[in-house]
Structure 1
Amino acid sequence: MPVTHFVVRWPDGKEERCYSPSTIVRDYLHPGAYALDDFLARAHEGLEAASGRVREKFGYACSSALDQWSAIERTATQYRSHPAAQVTVVSVD
């Protein structure tokens, strides 16, 4: 199963390289700017779908995808008080 990484630029300009165990995340995230809530919904759905692909192939969920989601959610909490916060997906490869 091909691993896919995506680079996210948070509202404060910090960039983070994120992990997905499957290319299916490309169906959910594309380079460009997203409102924080939209980004979170897309990232969550994409990482859930990626973990599901692992489950289908190997019989168990991907803990790394779930850990990545937790890290994204944790980072996002600091921007929740900014209603216009945007997250930029720099790349998906």
Structure 2
Amino acid sequence: MPAMHFELRWPDATQTRCYSPSLVIKDYFQPGTSYPLPQFMTQVREALNIASERVRAKFGFACSSAMDQLAQLEQIAQRFETVPSALVQVVAFHA
């Protein structure tokens, strides 16, 4: 199963390199595009859950790395929940 990394830029200009055990992230995001925080979080939750389930289908267990990544993103996103019009930019995909 091809894994990938994707890079994000948060509203405070910090960047995070993220992991997905599947290329499904490419179905949800475009590099160089900024997403409103609520939309980004909805889409990344769905994408990482699908990625984890693909691992389960192939190996018989969910991907804890995908779920750990999602937990990290949830924690970072909390910092910006009160920022009006907060945007998250998907900077790049890395193989």
Amino acid at match of 1:91: A
Quote the Cα distance in structure 2 between the aligned partners of 1:47 and 1:29. Answer: 12
Q: Which runs of 4+ in 1 moved over 3 A?
A: none
Quote the Cα distance in structure 1 between the aligned partners of 2:70 and 2:56. Answer: 16
Quote the Cα distance in structure 2 between the aligned partners of 1:67 and 1:24. Answer: 17
TM superposition score normalised by structure 2 = 0.95
Amino acid at match of 1:74: Q
Unpaired runs of 5+ residues, structure 1, are none
RMSD: 0.7
Paired residue secondary structure (1:13): coil
Structure with greater helix share of residues = 1
Q: Percent identity?
A: 47
Quote the Cα distance in structure 1 between the aligned partners of 2:36 and 2:76. Answer: 15
Aligned length: 93
Name the residue aligned to 1:5: 5
